[in-house]
Every structure is written in structure tokens, then in C-alpha cells.
Structure 1
Amino acid sequence: MASFLHNTANENLTTVPGILISDRYKRPHGYKVTRSKGTEDFYLTYTCSGKGIFHNGSESHECAQGEISIITPGTPHYYATSENEIWQFYWCHFIPREEWMPLLQLPEAIKGIKWARIDTELMNMRISSAFSSLIQYNLETGPFAERLATNALEEVLLLIASSRAVKLQNIDPRVQETLDLLSQQYYKPFTIASLASQVNLSPSRFAHLFKKQTGESVMEMLIRIRLQHAKKRLELTPLSIAEIAAEVGFNNPFYFTRQFTSFYGCPPATFRRKMKSMQSM
């Protein structure tokens, strides 16, 4: 569907990680961006009208009006305006604050590229307004411009998360039971089959229902919960990386390190050093 996107040697420049940049584009068919090695930051887009297509080197996903995409660090990506379309979209490159990480846990449309749909007109208007403020603050040079831009981006992320939270209010009691179990006993060696048995569903039916209701697979949710507990241990205890990995349910410390790096943007040892440095200031 989108093979034309990555059949090119023309690479676009990568962004400088840590510098918050944003804009609103209106691009006809023929516009495309190629970054075969990805970037070191997150890339967020919000489609106002038209359609754009995203590709990760093996799969593609099309975004339409009212849809969010987030390309995660290190993901090879190629994106373009869809055929016969004029794509209008807001975009932003950023490194998230620590407390924003839960807000970025959207379901993956394709590997490395997260996705969400904003269903109500009011919420779409609020997100557009927050993006407009973000762009305006990025253009300013006053003493508080950078903080205002950061706050506007946080508002965008909170609005996206709020929109998704409304959908989860009418959650199936079997899914809620599973969520409670994962939150309380995250360190146990759960499997899809064991959790499905707990709520009297077949593994396939259980996995489908859970992802439909939460936007994440069971294992994605469990890993996220484990990583959040691991982060607290890194901040508050002198335990080794291997000890922390085992305590929160990871049998392999190398796998733990890989998952932690993907989720928080740096290895656990680096994260701990950063926390210690901040605490000593």
C-alpha cells in the first residue's frame, strides 16, 4: 500500500532531541518524509483534515481527521499525504517529562507508531486550541515562553488521555477484575491463559475483550505496570538492576532493561543516575 514511501534514498534531517518544536502543516499529495533510522524523540501528529499515511518499514497505517499518531523513539518511519488528499495536521517533536509517560500509552496502530481517535467535536476543538497555543508559545522569546509551550503540550496530552478515559468508564467487570489483579499482583508469572481462566473466558475471547476495552494488550498492560513499580524502586532503593527486575516480575534483566529503555527513553542505570543527580541539587 505504501511501498513508495520507503523506496527512496532521500533522508530527511533528524531533529535535535530535547528541543520542543511544533507547527501546523497543509500538504498536498506528493509530500513525504523519510527517516529510516527514526529519531531520538517522540513525534506527535493530530490530523485536522484530509489523510496522511504512516509506514514503519513493513506496515502502514492511514490517519484521518480527528486522529492522533505518536511515533516512538528509534522507530524507522516514513509518512506522506495520502493519494488524492490535502493533509492538514499539527505536529510536535518532544522529549516527555517523566510524569507524562503514562499519557503516552496509546494502543499501537502498527509497531512503533501509537494511535488514537478523538470522537467528539468539543474535544477536537479543545485539542486544536491547545496545539495553537503550543505553536504560538514556541514562536515567542519571552522569559516564560518555553514553560508556556511545555504546559500547552501537556494540555494536549492530557486532553488525549481524558478522551480515552471516558471510553473506559463502562468497562466490562471481567476486564476490571483483571486490571485489579494485575495492579495488585503484578510480580506474578501471569499468562493470557491463566488470567482468562480467572474470569471464565477462553484465552482468545479474553485477549480480544481486554484490548478492545483498554486499548492495550494484556501483556502490554502488565509490562507497563511492572515498569512503573521498577521506576519507584530505582528512585527509592539501593537494589541492583537485576534485583529490581526480579522483584517486579521480569525473569531476564536484559529484557527488563530493553523494556525500560523503550518506555522511559533511557536504560534503568542511566535513569537512576539522573534521579540521584536531581536529588543532590
Structure 2
Amino acid sequence: MSADDMSVPAAELVIVGHYDKGPGYATRRPSGSPSWLLMWTQEGAGLVEQGGAALTAGAGDLVVLASRAAHHYRTAGERWRFWWVHFQPRPSWVTWLRPYALSPGCHLAPGPHRTPHTRPAPHTTLPPGTTLAPGTTLAPGATFAPGTDLPPGTTLPPGGLGSPAAESPSSSGRIERAFLRAHAYARWSGRGVPPEPGETTRPVAAMAERARELVLGAVEEILLLATAAPDALGQEPGDAFGLEPGSGENGPSTLSARGPVADGLSGAGADRRVARALELIAAEPGAPHTVTSLAAAVALSPSRFAHVFAERTGRTPMRAVRAARLAHAAQLLEATDLDIGQVAAACGFVSPFHFSRTFAQEYGLPPRAYRRRLNS
């Protein structure tokens, strides 16, 4: 079948594939591709070059190459196991990728192995045959080779051999499941129920319009998860691989919170930890937030967090939580027919009475009167 026979132009095709390649695998496109290309590494590594940028993609790294730019990629080492998608981006995706630009058209959203909180701590390796005295305590991060004699009473460190290591926070599992869904969606005819994820040995082009939309929905989820992951502990995009935020061709970017909880916090002087706390509050105002829980989320002591938060925003963390809950309540009163008790519960208030009193203090009307005025 020629390109002229296809119902979907080549540039608009959505193709999903999964490769497990050894040494010698390489692809070179001197004129680039008519579509954008996304690659997410599961295992091993690949060397990717485009637009003057060269990078080695390791496990968890997401590389996105824009269309019409010469590129070359190949296995780096013994194995490169990765997912890939040819697609045309939705407008908002380009904005999400902008802080991750390494050069015009080449983007790297780093996996957890690049972020500081997942780097392995320096460790000592004990050679084969090492004999430890009874009662020895191994330091955190110590490892030892097979054949090491561990006598009774030896205390293993957290994460050492024989002791389960703590798993780093990661979106990798969700991203992998999204790729599996995307591959299954691409096989859908557009009628009935989409197929369940199955074998992934063959690349699939989504020919049905509905199938393409479902695949793009999965790609959107992947991009959101991959581009959000580096900021999990307040890190700016680019920090994990030694770049200034927005240091590509698109100029600088800033981290900011939006909505009622962001009053008094904007611009380059914003503390990333405070910005992260504000994001958590805005995302779920009805959650049981406390100074302690918010401080833990940004790796600060409660006292230090409360001080920094008040210094940056001009109010305490719990006043910010209260403002977010009341703003959320006002939205629910306006847009839904939930009763006052349901609104109070959804916004994290302990009782309808407490909610009504607090709401009236802020808005000058109790919730019912506020709703009647809006609907009159």
C-alpha cells in the first residue's frame, strides 16, 4: 500500500511501538520525521541526537523530538528497551515540554534515576571472602559481594543486601500502563469495546479516528506524568540534568501557583517548597491538611515550614488552607445543588455549623443566602 492509498496522511498518523534492541540497532533520519516522536526508556539506554543536542536516555527518561529536524538514535550499550509513539501534539503539550528543551526540537523529561533524591548514597563494597566480627553493624549504603561471611549478630543497613530497599517515588508504573493502553487503543476499529492490552511485539498504527483520539489521550497522560515527576520534591524542570529552567530556545520559565491560595506568592523570588505546598492545597483543599503534613510533603520541619510559608505569603499555612476551602465552597454553591452539609464535607470542614459561620465571616453571607443571591 502506498502513501496515496492511506486514509490518514503520514504526518497525522499515530503509531505506537515497543522495541527491545541490542547492540547495532540504529535509526538515522537526515530530514527528520513528518511527525513528532516520543521515546520512553524502560531498561538499558539509548543515545539520541537532534538539533545539536546529544543525550543518553536511561530508564524512566522521556525524550520527545519535534518533526522535520534531522535526528539519529541508537542503542547505547548492550540493550535498549523502550516505547515509542509517532504523533502530532496538541497545542498545550508544547507548553508542557518547553522547560525541558535541550535544543530546538529536542526535549528530555528526566526519569527518577536523574533526580537528586533517588541517587544512591556513597557505599562501601566488601570483597568476596570478607569475614566480619560477630555483632558488626554495617553502615547505611554498605554492600557486599557473594561469599562474604556474615556472622550471627551482624546488623544489615536499610537497603543493604538481605534488607529491602525503600522504593523511590516514581510515576514509571503508571506511565508503562498508559503505553500498554495506547498500544491496545491503536488496534481498535472504532466500534464496540476497545481491546485489552496484549502482545506488544508489533507496532500499531491507529487508523480509526476514535482510536487515534484514545491513543492521544494516553499520550497526554504520559506527558503529564513525565513532565510533573521532577518537581515531586520542589525541583525545577532541568535541575535533574544540569540545566537552567527553560534554558532551551524558548526562554525562561517560572514556577508559580494559581488560584486563591497563591495570593502574595509570585515571580522568581517564590520559594519552591512554599509553591509546592500551595499546589497541594489548591489541588485538594478538602484534604486533612495540617502544618505537619504539608511540611513533610516538602521535606521541612513543621516549625521551619511555618516560618518560611508565612515569610513568603504573609499568612500561616492553615489560613491558606482555610482560604482555599472557602473558595472551593463558593464554587460548589454556585455550580452544584449539593446541600450545605455536603458542601461542608467536600471542603474539609468538621461540621455544617462551623462551615456556615466561617463562610459568613469571609463572604458576608451564610452559604444559603450566598447561593440564593447568585441564583436570583
Residues in 2 aligned to 1:217 and 1:59: alpha-carbon distance in whole angstroms: 13
**How much identity, in percent, do the aligned residues show?**
25
Counterpart position of 1:162: 228
1:50 partner SS: strand
- In structure 2, relative to structure 1, the CA distance for the partners of 1:30 and 1:132 (3 Å cut) is same
Residues in 1 aligned to 2:242 and 2:80: alpha-carbon distance in whole angstroms: 28
Counterpart position of 1:82: 76
| Structure 2 residue 64 is the aligned partner of structure 1 residue 34 | no
- TM-score, normalised by the number of residues in structure 1: 0.54
Cα RMSD after superposing both structures: 3.0
2:69 partner SS: coil
Map of 1:177-256 to 2, 5 A cutoff? Answer: 215-217=245-247, 220-222=250-252
2:222 partner SS: helix
Residues in 1 aligned to 2:223 and 2:213: alpha-carbon distance in whole angstroms: 15
Counterpart position of 1:71: 65
Which amino acid in 2 is paired with 1:75? A
Deviations 1:48-79 (A, max 9, x none): 00111112375532111111111112221111
Deviations 1:166-211 (A, max 9, x none): 35x367xxxxxxxxxxxxxxxxxxxxxxxxxxxxxxxxxxxx99x9
Query: Higher helix share goes to which structure?
Result: 1
1:156 partner SS: helix
Mapped contact 2:246–2:253 kept (Cα < 8 A): no
- TM-score, normalised by the number of residues in structure 2: 0.41
- In structure 2, relative to structure 1, the CA distance for the partners of 1:62 and 1:21 (3 Å cut) is same
Residues in 2 aligned to 1:112 and 1:25: alpha-carbon distance in whole angstroms: 23
Which amino acid in 1 is paired with 2:68? G
Residues in 2 aligned to 1:217 and 1:58: alpha-carbon distance in whole angstroms: 14
| Structure 2 residue 126 is the aligned partner of structure 1 residue 96 | no
Counterpart position of 2:278: none
Counterpart position of 1:148: 214
Residues in 2 aligned to 1:37 and 1:53: alpha-carbon distance in whole angstroms: 18
CA apart distance, 1:118: 2.0
Alignment partner for residue 24 of structure 1, among 2, 18, 22?
A: 18
Structure 2 unpaired stretches of 5+: 1-8, 113-167, 192-209, 255-376
Structure 1 unpaired stretches of 5+: 1-14, 172-207, 225-281
Mapped contact 2:15–2:87 kept (Cα < 8 A): yes
Residues in 2 aligned to 1:218 and 1:37: alpha-carbon distance in whole angstroms: 21
Mapped contact 1:61–1:110 kept (Cα < 8 A): no
Map of 1:114-133 to 2, 5 A cutoff? Answer: 114-119=107-112, 120=168, 122-133=170-181
Higher RCO, Cα 8 Å, sep 6+: 1
CA apart distance, 1:91: 0.3
Say which one has the larger Rg: 2
| Structure 2 residue 135 is the aligned partner of structure 1 residue 105 | no
2:214 partner SS: helix
Residues in 1 aligned to 2:46 and 2:32: alpha-carbon distance in whole angstroms: 18
CA apart distance, 1:111: 5.0
Which amino acid in 1 is paired with 2:37? Y
Mapped contact 1:131–1:152 kept (Cα < 8 A): yes
- In structure 2, relative to structure 1, the CA distance for the partners of 1:212 and 1:26 (3 Å cut) is closer
CA apart distance, 1:106: 4.1
Which amino acid in 2 is paired with 1:147? E
- In structure 2, relative to structure 1, the CA distance for the partners of 1:91 and 1:221 (3 Å cut) is same
Deviations 1:3-42 (A, max 9, x none): xxxxxxxxxxxx9211111111101111111100112321
Q: Runs of 4+ in structure 1 displaced over 6 angstroms? A: none
Which amino acid in 2 is paired with 1:157? L
- In structure 2, relative to structure 1, the CA distance for the partners of 1:133 and 1:219 (3 Å cut) is closer
2:41 partner SS: strand
- In structure 2, relative to structure 1, the CA distance for the partners of 1:38 and 1:218 (3 Å cut) is closer
Residues in 2 aligned to 1:61 and 1:218: alpha-carbon distance in whole angstroms: 14
